A and B are shown apart, each in its own frame.
Chain A
Amino acid sequence: MTDDEELHSVFRALADPTRRFLLDLLFARDGRTLTELESELSMTRFGVMKHLKVLEEAGLVVTRRSGREKLHFLNPVPIRLIHDRWIDKYTERRITTLIDLKNELENPS
């Protein structure tokens, strides 16, 4: 996946309220099984699986095996990458503005 496709899949995954709810559940308590997550939602097991698959493809959920169980973990890194990318952009812009201001004040035309 390119950076842009990655970004797109994260935003697409976050656009759905059920998927945001699943992430909230994992934020409150990480490392849950499908059965545990399913019990918090009025939705079929298949429906929950489909949402988890979208979250996994976006990298927002990572699964690990623990014995016979498959546990779901919230992976905050994709959101961090977006945060860092945008914060960086704004910081850069602020600095550019300051440089412009400095130039303006020092070299009045």
Chain B
Amino acid sequence: MTTATKTTQVYRVYIKATPEAIWQALTDPEWTNRYGYTGYAHYDLRPGGALQVVPNAEFKAQAVQHGVPVPDVVVDGEVIEADPPRKLVTTWRMLMDPALAEEGFTRITYEIEPQQGGGSCSLTLVHELDGAPGVASLVAGEHEEQGAGGGHAWVLSDLKSLLETGSTLAG
């Protein structure tokens, strides 16, 4: 048992959509603002390109209401591999909270696999969280009761709902 395996989280969801539609929902800022934590994810989709997630006005207003200051960029990272519409690998750092930002860059891999028979794809999210126990707990949804959202499982459930029904679970 290596340390890496203990700190890796794996999520998979099956979505009735094309690989292209799922890819767009993951990488187009207008789409990323429509589900989960919302916010505009700007990817420069080439190795070494930047990732920046910019919160929307509503998210900022809500956070201010709860007395949480919001930085202009809430998540940043670097694109390691972009193979549309099948695979995206980036580093990923949470900037909403100074202690979490201090944990530094983690690594996220998205894989999109069309299923036999067509009509649906699996979307697998692998989050390598070495040295980032706080981020690990956040993305596992352990702070949902405190209003921090349900982490990756919640985001993927919401994404599935958006792509299959045209609306999110909250909306």
Contacts and interface: CB of A to CB of B under 8 A. Distances in A.
Contacts of A103: none
Contact of B5 (A31, A75, A88): A31
B124 interface: yes
Contacts of B160: 81
Contacts of B14: 1, 6, 59
B97 to A, nearest CB: 23
Interface of A is mostly: mixed
Interface in A1-27: 1, 6
B5 A77 contact: no
Interface centre among B8, B12, B126 (most CB of A within 10 A): B12
Interface in A69-109: 71, 73, 75-77, 79-81, 84, 88
B1 A80 contact: no
Interface string B1-13: 1101110111111
A36 B2 CA distance: 13
B67 to A, nearest CB: 27
A75 B12 contact: yes
Contact residues on A (Cβ < 8 Å of other chain), bracket: 20 to 34
Contacts of A66: 2, 4-5
Given A1-B14, A62-B12, A81-B13, 14 more contacts: A6-B14, A29-B6, A30-B6, A31-B8, A59-B12, A59-B14, A64-B126, A66-B5, A73-B9, A73-B10, A75-B11, A77-B12, A77-B153, A80-B153
